[in-house]
Amino acid sequence: MSDQGCGIDIGGSGVKGAIVDLSDGSLVGERIRIDTPQPATPEAVASTVAEIVKQLGWEGAVGITLPAVVTGGVARTAANIDKSWIGTDAVALFKDALGGNSVVVLNDADAAGLAEDKYGAGKDAKGVVILLTFGTGIGSAVMTNGELVPNTEFGHLVVDGKEAEHRAASSIKERDELSYKDWAKEVSLVLTHIEDLMWPDLFVAGGGVSRKGDKWIHRLDNRTPVVPAALLNTAGIVGAAMAAERTSKGNDVE
């Protein structure tokens, strides 16, 4: 089944997984979701991942996302997850929990970027595409011609004295009860800073708020076009499955 892959997306509230048809990025069968264990320690999350893979009946390579910088299979940061992830060899941990499947672990926004670039909002785009996910934090992925530059962390870019994700994550919109109009001002400020440094051709806006893109995207006043993500809640799963497939073909994402 070389045109299928398995992706697991680890988020703050849920761990979600599915088998993916890599010819078009659609899910094969149902998506399985289990609440993220609390505290979300590496061991607890690894058992949840193993449970999902078991329920999917999948025996091949598995791609897994983390909301963290991941280099050489090791989680390096933990902005919005349990701090005990820092320094954890995530590949070894998941491999062990799964009983030996080959495993690829990558940043959650990077996975979404791979998926949106290939099957979603960035599929016809030329040049440099930057995906930003607006959620509890802000995740970022930089893509060019189907290639990912992994582990960009634009959510932590300091913009006028404050980290981007502390200004414009959708959790801040909710916490401060900002209108779309006021929140869009913060998003514009963040996008302007990123585009001054990166000069992308397109921004793709992901995360739950991208479903309501018609309420705020037209209010943005930065210069680069912004389009809403197309895959919404499957992007992380699909990108994780793509990463696993690419690595098993010897074309590593790192």
- Footprint of ligand BGC (CB under 6 A): 67-69, 77, 79-80, 107-109, 133, 135, 137, 139, 153, 155, 165
Q: Which residue type sits at 112?
A: A
Minimum distance, C-beta of residue 247 to ligand BGC, in the bound complex (Å): 19
Minimum distance, C-beta of residue 135 to ligand BGC, in the bound complex (Å): 6
* Nearest one of 38, 49, 41, 33 to 96, comparing CA atoms: 49
Minimum distance, C-beta of residue 65 to ligand BGC, in the bound complex (Å): 9
SS3 24: coil
Nearer to ligand BGC, 28 or 198 (CB): 198
SS3 222: coil
The Cα–Cα gap between 135 and 165 comes to 9
Nearer to ligand BGC, 61 or 68 (CB): 68
The Cα–Cα gap between 88 and 73 comes to 9
Per residue in 111-135, is it b (16+ CB within 10 Å) or e — as a string?
bbbbbbbbbbbbeebeebbbbbbbb
Nearer to ligand BGC, 56 or 112 (CB): 112
Q: Which residue type sits at 233?
A: N
Bridge partner list, 143: 129, 148
CB 240 within 8 A of CB 8: yes
Q: Which residues contact 215 (CB under 8 A, 6 or more apart)?
A: 180
Minimum distance, C-beta of residue 194 to ligand BGC, in the bound complex (Å): 14
Minimum distance, C-beta of residue 1 to ligand BGC, in the bound complex (Å): 29
Nearer to ligand BGC, 96 or 156 (CB): 156
Nearer to ligand BGC, 17 or 139 (CB): 139
Minimum distance, C-beta of residue 134 to ligand BGC, in the bound complex (Å): 9
Nearer to ligand BGC, 19 or 239 (CB): 239
The Cα–Cα gap between 252 and 71 comes to 12
SS3 145: coil
